[in-house]
Amino acid sequence: MILSDKKILEEINNGNILIEPFNINNLGTNSYDVHLGKWLGIYEDEILDAKAHNKIKLLEIPENGFILFPSKLYLGVTEEYTETRNYVPFLEGKSSVGRLGIDIHSTAGKGDAGFCNTWTLEISVKQPVKIYAGMPIGQIIYFNVDGEIATPYNSKKTAKYTERTKYPVESMMFKNFNKNDSSEKTKK
């Protein structure tokens, strides 16, 4: 089940949901609107390698906007820092953003219970479009969890996206390979 506006407010008051900054005007019927932060990340290399640390170049979105182009992946970040306990947060694009041909995530719309950070957005566009820091970009909806949570995301030793940041974060997939490579070496 998805939390209603009243339940989201109740859980904020109970300390199970944190949104910074919080503005009551961004609370929808069953979601909370989040906004595009002022930083974008663009991968330095044209060819990405899942086993390597693919570094990004950070760009600050100018006040007069920034044009996104098709066939390029942009990493954005939400202005809002969130913490979620006992619920599963999902980030979806706003319909107005989708109608401009902007996708805000390739695959990572679901957070985990215990996720505490800003949200990195995997932004792609269908045609050139100008974006602005502070524009509404998505909405978080909260789902109930059925059962007790053994290990919240922020407590997992293997969690890769726990360092609080105001910048988009590049893929840490390479850490999966490094972990597996070192465990294979110790078996030999």
DSSP character at residue 30: S
Spatial separation of the C-alpha atoms in residues 116 and 106, rounded to whole Å? 20
Q: Does residue 86 contact residue 98 with C-beta atoms inside 8 Å?
A: no
The three-state secondary structure class of 97 is helix
State the SS3 of 82-100.
EEECCEEEEEEECHHHHCC
Tokens found for residue 83: 């913490």
Q: Is 122 a catalytic residue?
A: yes
Distance CA 174, CA 146 (A): 32
Catalytic residue from among 80, 122, 148, 170 = 122
**Cα 26 to Cα 18: distance, rounded to the nearest angstrom:** 14
Q: Which residues are catalytic?
A: 122
